[in-house]
Amino acid sequence: MVDEWHGGLQGMEDTLQTLNDLISQYLCLNRPLWSSSDDADAFLEAVDELTSTIHSLERTSADHVLEKFDHLLECCSLRLGDELHHLINASSFDSNYSNPNTTKNHDDDDSHTLVAQPVSNFDIIVDTFPESVIFEANRIAKRMVAAGFGDSCAETYASSRLNFIDESIARLGVRADMAEMFKSASWEELETQILCWIPAIRVMFRILIPSERHLCDRIFEDSTSYRDLAFATACQPFLQLLSFGNFIAAAGKNPECLFRIVDMYDAIRDILDDAFIPEVAALRECLGLSIKGILMTLENLVRRDPSESCPLDGGVHPMTRYVMNYLVTACVSRHTLEEVMLLESGCSDPSGSCPIEPDRPTSSLAVHFAWIVDVLMGNLVSKSKFYRHAPLSCIFLVNNGIYIIKKVNGCELKVLLGEDWTKVMHSKVNQWNLEYRRATWGKAVMILEMDKSSNVNVMTEKLSRFNNFVEAICQVQSRWVLVDKQQAVEFSILVEELVIPAYKGIVEMLKATRSAAELYMRPEDVRSCIQQLFKAMVR
HSE value, Cβ hemisphere, 13 Å, CA-based, for 486: 3
pLDDT at residue 116 in the model: 46
Amino acid at 137: A
Give the pLDDT mean for 254-259.
Answer: 94
pLDDT-based confidence at residue 90 (cuts at 50, 70, 90): confident
Q: What residues pair up with 111 in beta bridges, in sequence order? A: 108
pLDDT at residue 355 in the model: 54
pLDDT at residue 273 in the model: 66
Which of 52-61, 97-106, 214-223, 412-421 is predicted least confidently?
A: 97-106
Question: Is the pLDDT confidence value at 112 over 50?
Answer: no
**Per-residue b/e over 299-335, b at no fewer than 16 CB within 10 Å?**
bebbeebeeeebbebbbbbebbebbbebbeebbebbe
d(CA 81, CA 155): 9
Question: Is the pLDDT confidence value at 243 over 70?
Answer: yes
d(CA 84, CA 82): 5
pLDDT-based confidence at residue 28 (cuts at 50, 70, 90): confident
Q: What is the mean pLDDT of the chain?
A: 85
| Residue 363 contacts residue 331 (beta carbons within 8 Å) | no
Residue pLDDT, tens place only, 331-360? 999 999 999 988 765 565 555 555 556 656
DSSP string for residues in 359-377: SSTTSHHHHHHHHHHHHHH
**Largest pairwise CA distance in the chain:** 156
Question: Is the pLDDT confidence value at 132 over 60?
Answer: yes
pLDDT-based confidence at residue 466 (cuts at 50, 70, 90): very high
Give the pLDDT mean for 269-290.
Answer: 87
pLDDT-based confidence at residue 270 (cuts at 50, 70, 90): confident
The closest alpha carbon to 337, from 407, 393, 290, belongs to 290
Give the pLDDT mean for 519-539.
Answer: 88
pTM of the model: 0.81
pLDDT at residue 85 in the model: 94
More confident residue, 347 or 499: 499
Q: What end-to-end distance do the CA atoms of the chain give, in Å?
A: 117
Q: What residues pair up with 330 in beta bridges, in sequence order? A: none
pLDDT at residue 259 in the model: 96
Helices 456-477, 419-448: crossing angle, 10 deg rounding: 140
Residue pLDDT, tens place only, 48-77? 988 888 777 665 655 666 777 788 889 999
Amino acid at 337: L
pLDDT at residue 485 in the model: 93
Burial class from Cβ neighbours inside 10 Å (0-12, 13-18, 19+) for residue 357 reads middle
More confident residue, 489 or 12: 489
Please state, in angstroms and as integers, the Cα–Cα distance from residue 378 to each residue in 267, 431, 466, 467, following that order.
37, 15, 36, 37
pLDDT-based confidence at residue 458 (cuts at 50, 70, 90): confident
Non-local CB neighbours of 435 within 8 Å, separated by 6+ positions? 390, 394
